[in-house]
Amino acid sequence: MYYLKKAKLFERVDGGVVKCLVCNRYCKVWPGKRGICGNYINMDGELYHLGYGILSAIESRPIEIKPLFHYWPNSTALTFSGFGCNFYCPWCQNYLLSFTHPKGDEPKYKPQELVRAAKAYGDEGLCASFNEPITLFDFLLDVFSLSKKEGLYGTMVTNGYFSPRALRELVEAGVDGYSIDIKGCTGLTKGRALVNVDHEEVFRNARRLLDLGAHVEIVFLIVTGFNDSDECIEWVIRKHLDYLGEDVPLHINRYYPRHRWKEPPTPISKLLKAKDLALKEGINYVYVGNIGSTELESTNCPRCGKRLITRSGYRVLHYSLTEDNRCPRCGHKIPIRGKYIPHKKYLFI
């Protein structure tokens, strides 16, 4: 049984067809059919969110695992996910969730249940993650509007491929932290993955989020045999600076074989080369993830080089910023959203 809710963003087309306006796929959905994400269905010329409240996972997780390194450091977020996606990357780490569509017999939750759980576990906020969260758009609006009223922050781990109108609605609902995956580079990727995706639109959306006052961090998973050419890496760094500027963090992450993509893991030398290039070109905060390096996941002052935040195992071990988020040695302002949560114990639910 589904909790059907009429979708907020759609328009009618000829012959009973409707156009979904949630993500940049802008699916045209025929009567009785679903869009590409499997969560929206055309019922008698109206679009309904049939994935409303159908969740695949609920966990309390550290914010650093998203990764979000400059957002509410050392906090935890009640993290939840649904089913389906609008990309279907063949190397997806969570393909058991993302490549599955809601059936209607899964556990169902109301927004207030998630908010109550977050408060019970002592989380500072909530995060939509694991599968692509935009597939839960109408549910997200209700969850984050309620959590905002309760003083909890709202975040998403997303591919950023949603419509400008959906983006604005999410920010207004209380989602002000975004870990955005940039998957590739327009015209420069190899193979047949994500061939119809405009990767530059992801940067445009990230810019729109910044303009609306949200916090953004970019994650670039360098996938062997897809987006690992020097030209593609240079394109990502250039677009990051052009659209987002020097102070938006860039996470360069290592790929591992998963699902249908069997190429070997990204060479660490390639990750380090990309990091060095990003720093040379002027990005102030560049991290290398998925290799378990404290050195490469810690924050140094871009002006004087002082170690300011030490991270290990998705936790903050040392934090030495001033109360107004400045380097105590040289006074350089470090972009941090929210409060640092000291001495917080973390436990998986």
Domain range list for the chain: 5-49, 57-298
Average pLDDT over all residues of the chain: 95
Best CA proximity match to 185, nearest among 245, 239, 254: 239
CA–CA dist 90, 193 (Å, integer): 7
Query: How distant, in Å, are the alpha carbons of 162, 182, 294 from that of 220?
Result: 18, 5, 19
What's the longest Cα–Cα distance across the chain? 67
Rounded to whole angstroms, the Cα distance separating 50 from 88 reads 20
Binned at pLDDT 50, 70 and 90, residue 1 comes out as low
Residue 344's pLDDT is 66
Q: For 208, how many CA atoms within 13 A lie in the half-sphere containing its CB?
A: 19
Model confidence pLDDT, tens digit, residues 97-118: 999 999 988 889 999 999 999 9
Please name which of 210, 296, 199 lies closest in space to residue 247, comparing C-alpha atoms. Answer: 210
- Residue 4's pLDDT is 86
Q: Is residue 3's pLDDT more than 80?
A: no
| Residue 324 CB-density burial (10 A; 0-12 exposed, 13-18 middle, 19+ buried) | exposed
Q: What's the burial of 195, exposed, middle or buried (CB within 10 Å: 0-12/13-18/19+)? A: exposed
Query: Which of these, 231, 225, 228, 178, lies nearest to 203 by C-alpha position?
Result: 178
* pLDDT for res 105: 84
Whole-number Å distance between alpha carbons of 9 and 39: 13
CB contact set of 72 (below 8 Å; sequence gap of 6+)? 63, 124, 125, 153, 177, 337, 338, 339, 340, 341
pLDDT at 192 over 90: no
Mean pLDDT of 329-345: 92
Q: Is the per-residue pLDDT at 138 higher than 90?
A: yes
Give the pLDDT confidence score for residue 349 in this predicted structure. Answer: 39
Strands 76-81 and 57-62: antiparallel
CA 58 to chain centre: 16
Please determine, for residue 299, whether its predicted confidence score (pLDDT) is greater than 80.
Answer: yes
pLDDT at 348 over 80: no
91 contacts 255 by C-beta, under 8 angstroms: yes
Mean pLDDT of 182-197: 88
Render pLDDT for 14-43 as a digit per residue (tens, 0 to 9).
999 999 999 999 999 999 999 999 999 999
Instruction: Give the pLDDT band (50/70/90) at residue 346.
Output: low
pLDDT tens per residue across span 144-182: 999 999 999 999 999 999 999 999 999 999 999 999 999
Question: Helix-strand-coil percent breakdown of the chain, rounded to 5?
Answer: 25, 25, 50
The C-alpha torsion from 241 through 225 and 259 to 266, rounded to 10°, is: -70
Q: Mean pLDDT throughout 240-264? A: 97
Using CA atoms, how far apart are residues 4 and 48, in angstroms rounded to an integer?
6
Q: How confident is the model at residue 188 (pLDDT cuts 50, 70, 90)?
A: confident
Q: Is the per-residue pLDDT at 2 higher than 80?
A: no
CATH ID of 57-298, from 3.30.230.70, 3.20.20.70, 3.40.30.10, 3.40.50.2020? 3.20.20.70
Rg, Å, the chain Cα set = 20
Q: What is residue 57's DSSP assignment?
A: E
